[in-house]
Amino acid sequence: MGCETGRRAGRRCVAGLSFCLALVWLCFTAAQAGPAPVRVAVVFDGDTCQLADGRRVRLAGIDAPEMAHEGRAAQYYAAAAAALLQRVTRGVPLRFVGVGPDKDRFGRMLGDLLLPDGASVAALLVGEGAAFFFWFDDVPAELAERLLLAQRRAMAAGRGAWPRLLALPRPGAPYVGNTASHRFHAPDCPDAARIGRRNRVLLPTLAEAFGRGFAPARGCTPWPEAR
């Protein structure tokens, strides 16, 4: 519909057009700015936290040593991993990027947190030896490769938990990996015996297991308890 004729009507038309242009500009700049930043309020362990708005985030593609819970002792380096996550996110505006399904079975958002410079918090934790690569089929290949590379570099440099972990005595038989799940088991673990021959792979050392992207199965993990 065009503008009415006349001076007063013309002014109304110009004002209306100005309002529409301003609204379009606000929508454009909001889209350019992206989602509002988030902030971490509570850190539960080295891979899980709660945002200031109450949502819980599980960092996708990594796992960290378990804190004490349900009568189980804390694992080695759990407290240090949680402290590092808290230190790098405290008071910092972050960007949440979803990875895989919206939520896991515990209702936590799955994704990564990005620092103001764009650096990945998950990759930082792995690179410092505070967490390890944890494969899932819905983790994008590019992210999986980046996390595994960070892990290999941390292992080679002896960062974080790796010196003690890789110095653990070797068992009498190789660890048993599952190529379908990318998890590995202690040789005497009952779950190891149930892995089919097609998916079964022997891993002589922890260095080889972690270096190839396998993560310890939680039922029979070689990860030591906290001292």
Task: Assign residue 129 the CATH number of its domain.
Answer: 2.40.50.90
158-191 pLDDT, tens digit per residue, is 999 999 999 999 999 999 999 999 999 999 999 9
| Residue 5, domain member (yes or no) | no
Same domain, yes or no: 202 and 152: no
- What pTM did the predictor assign? 0.83
Same domain, yes or no: 68 and 143: yes
Identify the three-state secondary structure at position 147. helix
Q: Which domain holds residue 197?
A: 168-216
Rounded Cα–Cα distance for residues 168 and 154 (Å): 17
Residue 25 pLDDT:
45
Quick one: tokens of 4? 């009415």
Residue 12 pLDDT:
54
Same domain, yes or no: 118 and 209: no
Same domain, yes or no: 111 and 71: yes
Per-residue pLDDT of the chain (227 residues; tens, 9 = 90+): 444 455 555 555 444 555 444 443 444 443 444 578 999 999 999 999 999 999 999 999 999 999 998 888 999 999 999 999 999 999 999 999 999 888 888 899 999 999 999 999 999 999 999 999 999 988 999 999 999 999 999 999 999 999 999 999 999 999 999 999 999 999 999 999 999 999 999 999 999 999 999 999 988 899 999 98
Rounded Cα–Cα distance for residues 49 and 127 (Å): 19
How many domains does the chain contain in total? 2
Residue 103 pLDDT:
86
| Residue 8, domain member (yes or no) | no
**Sign of the torsion angle spanned by Cα atoms 3, 4, 5, 8:** negative
Same domain, yes or no: 128 and 145: yes
| Residue 89, domain member (yes or no) | yes
Same domain, yes or no: 128 and 185: no
Same domain, yes or no: 98 and 208: no
Helix (H) or strand (E) holding 63: strand 62-63
Count the alpha carbons within 13 Å of 165 in the hemisphere toward its beta carbon. Answer: 30
